[in-house]
């Protein structure tokens, strides 16, 4: 848990996926230790319902600094039915961020099923249209393990996925990047995708990268895999000039 806390404490907001804790004890314990570790901020969280088509259930959890960000609304995409394309429905939040140039934006968190990754990514485009209308915003960021690489996608198939082909959607994590911990794999499964002129201009250029915590904390592959088999992907937003001045004085 120590390495995970160090990773999360680097960020104003994190999305954690594949939370499989039916007792509901892991996240409160993580938050308690996180707030003890970093006393300069106050961390809180939002969690989705437990989701999955069969007995396998998992949750999305957003952990964020409530002294830096405000979650204005949350939206769990409609649950599974016979026509749904998602194994786990997207978990969506609307953020107000006083300290960054772009003040209001939406996050769509998604963990696709590997076998239906392209189908789910196409479904995400429909979710995107729904959210734009629901909250009347163009500033939208997709994030999560989309399984958008290697054997789970094809170049031909991706060309027909609107989440990929729409020129107004910018994929910040590039295809050639590696978000996997295992040295024998090199796949950009995890992605950050953004839409909206205001949000695009509010991103720090070249800041979207996988965070190689194995290298950062001098871990062996075995030690790193105890934390996760994926590297987190991250991006920086440009700070509000007034906020910077206030903190420099």
Residues recognised as catalytic: 58, 111
- Are the beta carbons of 229 and 181 closer than 8 angstroms? yes
Distance from C-alpha of 145 to C-alpha of 70, rounded to nearest angstrom: 24
d(CA 72, CA 137): 13
CA–CA separation, 16 and 93 (whole Å)? 14
- What whole-number distance in Å separates Cα of residue 40 and Cα of residue 51? 34
- Judge whether 90 and 124 are in contact, CB under 8 Å: yes
The DSSP letter of residue 116 is G
Cβ-proximal residues to 198 (8 Å cutoff; 6+ apart), any chain? 102, 138, 139
Distance CA 37, CA 24 (A): 21
Backbone angles phi, psi at 55, to 5 degrees: -80, -25
């Amino acid at each position: 848990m120590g390495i995970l806390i160090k990773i999360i404490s680097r960020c104003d907001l994190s999305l954690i996926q594949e939370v499989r804790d039916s007792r509901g004890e892991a996240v409160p314990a993580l938050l308690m230790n996180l707030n003890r570790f970093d006393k300069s901020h106050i961390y809180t969280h939002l969690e989705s319902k437990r989701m999955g088509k069969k007995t396998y259930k998992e949750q999305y959890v957003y952990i964020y600094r409530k002294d830096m960000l405000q979650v204005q609304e949350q939206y769990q995409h409609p649950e599974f039915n016979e026509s749904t394309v998602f194994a786990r429905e997207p978990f969506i939040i609307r953020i107000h961020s006083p300290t960054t140039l772009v003040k209001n934006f939406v996050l769509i968190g998604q963990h696709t099923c590997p076998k239906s990754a392209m189908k789910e990514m196409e479904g995400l485009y429909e979710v995107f249209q729904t959210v734009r209308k629901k909250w009347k915003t163009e500033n939208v960021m997709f994030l999560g393990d989309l399984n958008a690489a290697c054997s789970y996608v094809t170049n031909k198939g991706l060309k027909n996925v609107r989440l990929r082909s729409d020129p107004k959607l910018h994929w910040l994590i590039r295809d050639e990047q590696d978000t996997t911990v295992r040295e024998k794999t090199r796949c950009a499964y995890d992605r950050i995708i953004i839409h909206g002129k205001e949000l695009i201009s509010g991103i720090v250029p070249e800041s979207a990268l996988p965070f190689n915590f194995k290298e950062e904390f001098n871990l062996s592959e075995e030690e790193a895999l105890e934390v996760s088999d994926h590297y987190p992907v991250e991006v920086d937003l440009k700070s509000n000039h007034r906020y910077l001045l206030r903190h420099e004085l």
